[in-house]
Amino acid sequence: MSEQETSIEELVQQLAAKLTEKGWMLATAESCTGGMIAAACTDLAGSSQWFDRGFVTYSNEAKTEMLGVPAELIAKHGAVSEEVVRAMAEGAIRHSRAQVSIAVTGIAGPGGGSVEKPVGTVWVGWCAGNSLRTQQLHLKGPRNIVRHSTLEIAIINLINQV
């Protein structure tokens, strides 16, 4: 097991303890990470006590159909935007039994970037209780690094918010 896997496992254990203590459930809404956050959470035995479900909404249509993200919002701001990640985080709560959500949308590369949104641009959203926070990330490195960094940052920030 690599150091990164160990640290992710430890982070998930911290998150599990906080969610279990509060009696809260987590839902994930993932685009660029393709279910990596949900997988990291469910790698932990007993995660059914605090993990409700994960939505992998890679396409714009999936974001609309599964999370209720308005197609007009995606058309106006793009899938990789603060507006869309907010709608994804809120949609994950609305379409689950969770009180907490993590949402991510971004450009992991190597292609797909633009001048306005280069490869490594990622938006993360966290809903916990009545609070919704977002953060734009500008990550460097190949696709696997962008995705793993997003996973780690998403979990760390939710631990700090719960």
pLDDT of residue 1: 46
Q: Is the pLDDT of residue 162 over 80?
A: yes
Confidence of residue 6 (pLDDT cuts 50, 70, 90): low
pLDDT of residue 130: 85
3-state helix vs strand vs coil in the chain, percent to 5: 50, 20, 30
Please provide residue 124's backbone torsions phi and psi, each rounded to the nearest 5 degrees. -120, 140
**Could you read off the pLDDT of 58-86 as tens digits, one per residue?**
999 999 999 999 999 999 999 999 999 99
Q: Is the pLDDT of residue 3 over 60?
A: no
User: What does each C-alpha distance from 67 to 30, 36, 63 come to in angstroms?
Assistant: 11, 18, 5
The full set of domain ranges for the chain reads 3-161
**Could you read off the pLDDT of 87-127 as tens digits, one per residue?**
999 999 999 999 999 999 999 999 998 999 999 999 999 99
Confidence of residue 8 (pLDDT cuts 50, 70, 90): very high
Nearest-angstrom CA–CA distance, 48 and 131: 24
Nearest-angstrom CA–CA distance, 91 and 67: 4
What's the chain's average pLDDT? Answer: 95
- Give Cα 72 distance to the centre of its chain: 22
pLDDT of residue 38: 98
Q: Tell me which CATH code domain 3-161 carries.
A: 3.90.950.20
- Give Cα 45 distance to the centre of its chain: 21
* Closest by Cα among 96, 92, 55, 88 to 69: 88
**pTM assigned to the model:** 0.94
3-state helix/strand/coil string of 30-63: ECCCCCHHHHHHHCCCCHHHCEEEEEECCCHHHH
